[in-house]
Structure 1
Amino acid sequence: MDIVVMVGQLILGLTILVGLHELGHMLAAKWFGMRVEKYAIGFPPKVFGKKIGETEYMLGLIPLGGFVKISGMVDESMDTEALKEEPKPWEFRSKPAWQRLIVMMGGIIVNVITGIVIYIALTYNYGESYLPANEAKYGVVANEIGKEIGFQTGDKIVAVNGKELQRFEDVYSMDMLLGRNAYYTVDRNGQRVDIKVPANLMDRVSDNKERMFFVQPRVPFKVGQVMAGSPAAKAGLQEGDFITRINNNEIKFFNELQQALHANAGKPVAIMVERAGKPFKLQAQVTEEGTLGFMQVPLLQYATRDYSIGEAIPLGTEQAFGVITANLKGFGKIFRGEVSASKSLSGPIGIAQIFGDTFSWYKFWSITAMLSMVLAFMNFLPIPALDGGHVVFLTYEMISGRKPSDNFLENAQKVGMVLLLGLMAFAIFNDVFKIIF
């Protein structure tokens, strides 16, 4: 069932984004009087098709893309027989270069608009939930990666890139993970210490999404729901209890409890708790996994801010273009050798894992908005067979006044298709490799 939810979200998200992308091309083409022969979501074999006017609307069985077939255009169909005849007035190749440029940009523009609209809607409807920096007053817990780059458990992060930290979530911002010469400033036992972000930090945390949070706030807690039949229930632990000691280990924060339980996995432990202001001593058997069987209630106060539509518009737009900026920075790191391409690129399996095996509308639309901006960015790359490749050739034509020959465009399309198919094969193989190894 988990896989069904994951795959279902992937198919729904891609169907929406590809459908809108190809719709952008089709509407622009029809606006300029070009004949659109086919509008397809998904690749053959055909599941459904209906011809309305001059256009066949088709749904393909393979939901990993789509296409629009415009008369007189060299595209991924490689149907070039019609190009041997004299151009017809309704064909793509008969129209002025500026009109053809708008048609090729149509899909990218629609994807950008889609991403912006979704981000604005999410900002307006859900607002923003965040942990104020002053709530992380107990410092951080540094995991393996955090310790390697210089953090120590107990450090209090006070600034990022010299700017005072307002929201703890900014610790994981793309500016920090992908920026150059980024650094954190921490308060360590009353002294200010700068911790430089290594150039390959994104590469090191991308192996596992849990490693992304290389430092986390130290969290005081109390006992929440106790699972029926668990060691915690058998020991008499109750909701609302404060655990103060495990054997001889004083417990103030949840990470200290985790460490004590893992150190005593499979063993009996003495637990001191505070209940209604009074101390109680309990005995419990820790599971082999190092747990007791209860939910924790973090004692940190998160803040929520609501936005008016006037505030949501610039914030949502900024979020959308932030995705483009992050992609540009990411490509820069790949080209400089600071980030591994195999760890940064994901295919359909990797994207499905991003959606996850649980469903919420907020998460679904957040990921869909992000993918819409990524799709726009990727399609704008100057690779033949992508929209960006066509844009390059059309821009050359507009500047030089000379149109590339149909033979050149056909060969460029073939080269681009080979590159894209190779990239897709690499991405899929890379996804499988990550899962296996």
Structure 2
Amino acid sequence: MTALLYALGFVLFFLGILASIGLHELGHMIPAKRFGGKVTQYFIGFGPTVWSKHVGETEYGVKAIPLGGYVKIVGMLPPGDQYDPDDLEYDEQGSPVLKVRKSNTGLFTQLISDARAAEWELVRPEDTGRLFYRMPWWKKVVVMAGGPSVNILIAFFIFWGVFATYGTKTEEPVAGAPIVATVSECVIPYTEDGRACTKDDPASPAAEAGLKPGDRIVSFNGTPIEDWEQLRAAIRANDDGTAVLVYERDGKELTGRTSTTVEARPTSGTDATLHQVGFLGISPKTHVVTTTGGPFYTVEQMGTMTKQVVQALGTLPVKVWGVAEAIVGVKDRAADSPVSIVGGGRIAGETVSHRGFPLTEKVVFLLMLIASFNFFIGMFNFVPLLPLDGGHIASALWEAVRRALARVRGRPDPGYVDAAKLLPIAYGFAAVLLVMGVVLIIGDIVVPVHLTT
């Protein structure tokens, strides 16, 4: 039964991501067609074709490797300086015969030339007015932004549904003077949190002061304590100074004396940066607080997620390198390391098959996992580098700026931005993405991130 539930979770997550990929590609195809562009292919997956069907001028299908998708929009690349775009001739099959005006020398020049030739093999005489590169810049932006925007919208509606019904649940300290929930027996570095105390670990200041679970802290160094945040701030500001604690136990008021120790700790739950602060070694009694909200609350939460995603993108290469080190056994895989669709599927499987989770929480977790993947995919595709959608958007925006500047200065129209000239960079970046993707997939198989309970 557990194996069946695991497989169900994996399949449901995988189908959710495949549906998201299909909708992403529709986000490109629909506006491209509405603007008069020619779309010859719409595929989910890569590699050998499993199934396809022609509807009108577009071939719809599924390929064998379900790790992405694509739509083929004719005329993404302009003819370029080495061809004469105003003197095109067509062969008997209707394909353009590109006349070379300059010799193609050098690896990159030949690479760009070959890419143009492959692109223009699909162009027919009647397609001249339908080529993507000839569209106004704003139409190009709409077409290329359509895909990742769909992913973000998927995430938004899933988040909204969860926030409006299930809500967000957080553990917050009980109101009033803090009640001690746990007392650390020893001082363990934050980076080693979770391990047991050893004989070499010093006793925690809280243990030395005689604190026990259930004690209510009423003052710290003579200052009355009203809530946990006040006590927490006082402890952290105390560095390694003397700490006199007055607390209530069984209706009696007792006093404990100790000295806080300086430890590297994060300043808040949203900031993982470690700072040297005073440490006592207690945690407060908490209760679960449920917060629900509508679309504005969802936008607010996604604003916070955006900051986290930007930070994650900045550290992605380093974290992927950490996964590579874990694969070869140099170190353990970090719990917060990125995962591929395979890793997401494994986490979904573990969630659905976990006996300790109620059905509602399993459904919510699975929805949030799919929404989080969609949000990351959407944000990642807006990175302004080819071959990502953001690279095409950046090219279109630069085209608008360049033409506007030319008009203001009274200079001739500089024409379309030639994205083909960036292909060497695009191929290099694509190779990096491919390597990172392979590393994550292997890591999710060999040293997977498991569900934290």
Q: TM-score of the superposition, structure 1-length normalised?
A: 0.60
Higher radius of gyration, 1 or 2: 2
Shift of 1:185: 9.9
Residue identity matched to 1:414: Y
2:71 is the counterpart of 1:68: yes
The 3-state SS of whatever aligns with 1:51 is strand
1:124 aligns with 2:164: yes
Question: Structure 1 residues 405, 330: closer, same or farther in 2, change over 3 A?
Answer: closer
State the alpha-carbon separation in 2 of the partners of residues 89 and 157 from structure 1: 76
- Aligned residue number for residue 370 of structure 1: 372
Q: How far apart, in 1, do the equivalents of 2:379 and 2:12 lie?
A: 22
**Amino acid corresponding to residue 317 of structure 1 in structure 2:** V
Aligned-pair CA distance for 1:356: 3.9
Which of 120, 128, 141 matches 1:83?
120
1:262 match: none
Match of 1:427 in 2: 440
1:51 alignment counterpart: 54
1:121 positional shift:
0.8
Aligned to 1:405: 418
- State the Cα deviation string for residues 200-258 of structure 1 (Å, max 9, x = none): x99999xxxxxxxxx99678xxxxxxxxxxxxxxxxxxxxxxxxxxxxxxxxxxxxxxx
Contact between 2:75 and 2:131, CA under 8 Å: does it hold in 1?
A: yes
Structure-2 residue corresponding to 1:138: 180
C-alpha distance in 1, partners of 2:119/2:373? Answer: 35
Any idea what SS the aligned residue of 1:64 has?
A: strand
Counterpart Cα distance in 2 of 1:185 and 1:108: 48
Residues 74 and 410 in structure 1, CA contact (< 8 A), matched pair in contact too: no
Cα distance 1:128–1:407, how it changes in 2: closer, same or farther (>3 A)? closer
Q: Which residue pairs with 1:313 in the alignment? A: 295
Q: Quick one: which amino acid aligns to residue 68 of structure 1?
A: V
> 382, 385, 393: which one pairs with 1:383?
385
Matched, 1:346 2:332: no
Name the counterpart of 1:197: 265
Write the letter of the residue equivalent to 2:379.
F
Distance 2:149 2:217 in 1: 40
State the AA in 2 paired with 1:320: M
8 Å contact kept, 1:184–1:195: no
Taking a change above 3 Å as real, the CA distance of residues 196 and 3 of structure 1, as seen in their structure-2 partners, is: same
Question: Unaligned stretches of 5+ in structure 1?
Answer: 159-163, 172-182, 206-214, 220-299
2:396 is matched with 394
Letter in 2 for 1:7: F
Alpha-carbon distance in 2 for matches of 1:101, 1:119: 26
Matched residue SS, 2:351: coil
**Match of residue 101 from structure 1:** 141
State the Cα deviation string for residues 264-295 of structure 1 (Å, max 9, x = none).
Answer: xxxxxxxxxxxxxxxxxxxxxxxxxxxxxxxx
Note if 1:112 corresponds to 2:152. Answer: yes
Amino acid at match of 2:20: L
SS of residue in 2 equivalent to 1:345: coil
**1:89 to 1:423, Cα distance in 2 relative to 1, 3 A:** same
| Partner in structure 2 of residue 275 of structure 1 | none
* SS state at 2:48 partner: strand
| 1:415 counterpart = 2:433 | no
Alignment size in residue pairs: 321
Instruction: Report the alpha carbon displacement of residue 47 of structure 1 after superposing the two structures with TM.
Output: 2.7
Q: Does 1:323 align with 2:323?
A: no
2:288 matched to 1:302?
Answer: yes
- CA drift of 1:347 comes to 2.2
1:165, distance to aligned residue in structure 2 (A):
6.6
Alpha-carbon contact 1:44-1:61 (below 8 Å) kept: yes
Deviations 1:369-411 (A, max 9, x none): 1111101111111221111121222222221234333641444
How many Å apart are 1:303 and its aligned residue? 4.1
Name whichever of 5-14 and 111-120 sits farther off. Answer: 5-14
Structure 2 unaligned spans of 5+: 79-113, 194-203, 219-226, 247-256, 274-280, 324-333, 353-361, 404-413
Letter paired with 1:18: I
Shift of residue 366, structure 1, vs aligned partner: 0.7
Distance 2:271 2:338 in 1: 11
Query: Percent identity between the aligned chains?
Result: 25
Letter in 1 for 2:438: A
The alpha-carbon distance between structure 1 residues 141 and 30, as it changes in their structure 2 partners (threshold 3 A), is farther
Identify if the C-alpha distance between structure 1 residues 326 and 407 changes in structure 2 by more than 3 Å, giving closer, same or farther: closer
- Cα deviation for residue 301 of structure 1 reads 5.1
Say what the alpha-carbon RMSD is for the aligned residues.
Answer: 4.5
The answer as to whether partners of 1:184 and 1:196 remain within 8 angstroms in 2 is no
1:386 and 1:416 in contact (8 A); partners too? no
**Hey, what does 1:259 align to over in structure 2?**
none
Contact 1:334 1:341 in 2 (8 A): no
